[in-house]
Structures are given as C-alpha cells and as structure tokens.
C-alpha cells in the first residue's frame, strides 16, 4: 500500500465530514470508496481511527493508505503548438482553446505537456514530476493565450519565485455578461473552495487573498469587452470574481451559463511579462486574440 498525508491548514477545509472532504480532495475516488477505506482502518486522523462522520479540524493530520498508483507513460506527441517566445531557459506558447495543460485522469494524451515533450525533447524542468514537466503555472482548459514553461530547474525556481512575489505581469481579455456603470474597478475578495461544492472555487471570507483589476474596453447590448490585470493568481480567479459581481464570463459553464456553440468561458491570457532567469532582462509576450474571440467582438459591434 502507498500512503499520503494531508494537513488541514485552511479554515475553509474545517468542519467537513472526512469522507466528503477526501472525495473532494481526490475526485478520482468516490465518497463511498473513502467510507469503506475509513471503516477498514485505512484512514487515520492524528494517528487514530475515526468514523466517516468525523468532521475535519484545523491542524488535523490525515494519513490515507491507498492502492499503488499505476505508472502512467506520458509520451511525446507531434501536436502543433504556437510558440510566442523561446530561449534556453523558458518557452512561452499560445495555448489553444480546449487543450488541457498537463495529463490528468481522462486526459493522458493530447495535452500541452505531450506536445512540449516532443518539441523540447529532454529540456523541461523536473520539479513538478513526470506528469507536469516544465509547468510552473496553468490556465484553464478553455482559456486561451500565453503560458510560460520552464526548460530547467533553475529557471523553474526563478519563475516560481516571481509568481509568488506577484511580479509577473499578467493581463487577460474577456467578454462578460452585462454592462457596467463604472469603466474600471478593483475586486479585492478572498477565494477558497466552495463549501457547498468542493470542485468549485468561490469568494469566501476565510479564503486566500485575491485581487483583480478590471477596465471596460467596449460595451455592447448586454455584453462587455473587459481587460483584467491580476495581482494574485488564484484558481479560477477572474471567473470567480466576475461572477461574484454579477458579470460572469460569456460561456462560463461553471460560474455562469453555457452558450450554444461556445466551449466554455471567453477568456484570453494576452500579455505575459517576466524577468528572464539568466539575463535579468524584462521579457513581455503578447498572444493575439483567437479567431473565435474576434468573431464574437465583430458580431457584438455590429449589433450596437
């Protein structure tokens, strides 16, 4: 048996039935699976057996014994990718809509990592393991645009430090539902796991600090074209923040409403600026808007 340990460190993870918490932590396994594991003594909390109804507490150390994970062979694939910038340390690609960044259950091929392994050969950082070589940050499957990948561990550590310090310049463009009274604003609202659905994020009082600056570029009948600048980089940050103020991203089928013939949110990571790890020079890359995005803008402009 293999073991992994979870420490309850955030108050958002407190007060949840342990079987429900574990199923949310690892969606690959069902709640009933963890109930059986708990009943069989394969889950210990602070070194002791508990029942499924046990509620998590801050500081809990949960040790889960599981069947060994089958080794997954992640193979290079000759998948076309658009390279926006490349040097010996990093590569910035323009991720297409619908492409998963790294392998995960249900997506072990056709990912950006598969494509990068073919393009970069053995030149990808290994810090995030075999499943996520080179990946230092992510964007959602249906978000397009600039994604920075590291070719070696030194570059990975350097870029990760820049991201942690919030010094990487990240600007997004998106189309949201509704119109604004004010042309610009700041959303300063903490984000954490949605207490009612742990597969989603939400604005919660005890979440992690999250700050999004927005500026309205154009307004149409019922829709707005908006620029976003991130101070922080929480999971689904722009999507959650815009939904929280009543302006979900167009097509967002998680935090808004799905749109026919549109695959997920209309969001594009346009600008990515960072300090090159070796030279210390500032590098800024801009990904052009995808064709579907431009077509939507032209459609709404024609309607005004």
**Domain segments of the chain as ranges:** 2-66, 82-303
Question: How many residues comprise the chain?
Answer: 304
> What is the model's pLDDT at position 67?
60
**Do 257 and 244 contact (CB within 8 A), yes or no?**
no
Measured distance CA(28)–CA(88) in Å, rounded: 37
Tell me what the mean pLDDT of segment 264-273 comes to.
97
CATH superfamily, with its number, for domain 2-66? RNA-binding S4 domain (3.10.290.10)
CA distances from 92 to 87, 95, 270 (A): 9, 9, 12
pTM for the model stands at 0.76
Whether the CB-CB separation of 289 and 268 falls below 8 Å is answered with yes
Catalytic (active site) residue 88? no
Residue 140: CB atoms within 10 A of its CB come to 20
| Phi, psi dihedrals of residue 161, rounded to the nearest 5° | -70, -40
Strands 169-177 and 267-275, by their bridges, are antiparallel
Task: Give the pairing of strands 48-49 and 82-86.
Answer: unpaired
What's residue 57's pLDDT?
93
The C-alpha angle with vertex 79 and arms to 73 and 84, in degrees rounded to 5, equals 120
Same fold, 2-66 and 82-303: no
Query: Are 233 and 242 contacting, i.e. CB atoms less than 8 angstroms apart?
Result: no
Task: Name the burial class of residue 63, with classes exposed (0-12), middle (13-18) and buried (19+) by CB atoms within 10 angstroms of its CB.
Answer: middle
Name the residue with tokens 């976003």.
228
Tracing tokens 């990808």 back to the chain, one arrives at: 124
Give the model's confidence band at 220: pLDDT under 50 very low, under 70 low, under 90 confident, else very high.
Answer: very high
Contact 178, 224 (CB under 8 A): yes
User: Which pairs count as long-range contacts for 24-32, CB under 8 Å and 24+ apart, including other chains?
Assistant: 24/193, 24/198, 24/199, 25/198, 27/199, 28/105
Q: What is the mean pLDDT of residues 47-66?
A: 90
How many angstroms separate the CA atoms of 77 and 170, rounded? 29
* pLDDT value of residue 69: 45
pLDDT band at 94 (very low <50, low <70, confident <90, very high): very high
Q: Which listed residue (13, 19, 60, 140) is catalytic?
A: 140
Q: Which CATH superfamily is 82-303 part of?
A: Pseudouridine synthase (3.30.2350.10)
């Amino acid at each position: 048996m293999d073991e992994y340990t979870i420490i309850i460190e955030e108050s958002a993870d407190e007060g949840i039935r342990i079987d429900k918490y574990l199923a949310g932590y690892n969606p690959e396994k069902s709640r009933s699976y963890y109930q059986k594991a708990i009943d069989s003594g394969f889950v210990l909390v602070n070194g002791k057996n508990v029942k499924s109804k046990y509620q998590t507490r801050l500081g809990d150390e949960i040790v889960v014994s599981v069947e060994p994970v089958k080794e997954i062979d992640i193979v290079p694939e000759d998948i076309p990718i658009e390279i926006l910038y490349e040097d010996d340390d990093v590569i910035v690609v323009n991720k297409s809509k619908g492409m998963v960044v790294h392998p995960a259950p249900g997506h072990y091929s056709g990912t950006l990592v598969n494509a990068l392994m073919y393009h970069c050969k053995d030149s990808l950082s290994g810090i995030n393991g075999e499943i996520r070589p080179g990946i230092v940050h992510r964007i959602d499957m249906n978000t397009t645009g600039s994604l920075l990948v590291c070719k070696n561990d030194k570059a990975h550590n350097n870029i990760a430090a820049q991201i942690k310090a919030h010094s990487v310049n990240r600007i997004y463009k998106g189309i949201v539902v509704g119109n604004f009274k004010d042309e610009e604003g700041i959303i300063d609202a903490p984000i954490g796991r949605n207490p009612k659905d742990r597969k989603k994020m939400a604005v919660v009082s005890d979440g992690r600090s999250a700050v999004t600056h927005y500026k309205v570029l154009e307004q149409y009948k019922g829709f707005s074209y908006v620029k976003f600048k991130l101070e922080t980089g929480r999971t689904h940050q722009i999507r959650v923040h815009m939904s929280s103020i009543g302006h979900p991203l167009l097509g967002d089928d998680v935090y808004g409403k799905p749109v026919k013939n549109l695959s997920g949110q209309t969001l594009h990571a346009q600008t990515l600026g960072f300090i090159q790890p070796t030279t210390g020079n500032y590098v800024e890359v801009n990904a052009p808007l995808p064709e579907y995005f431009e077509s939507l803008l032209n459609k709404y402009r024609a309607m005004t």
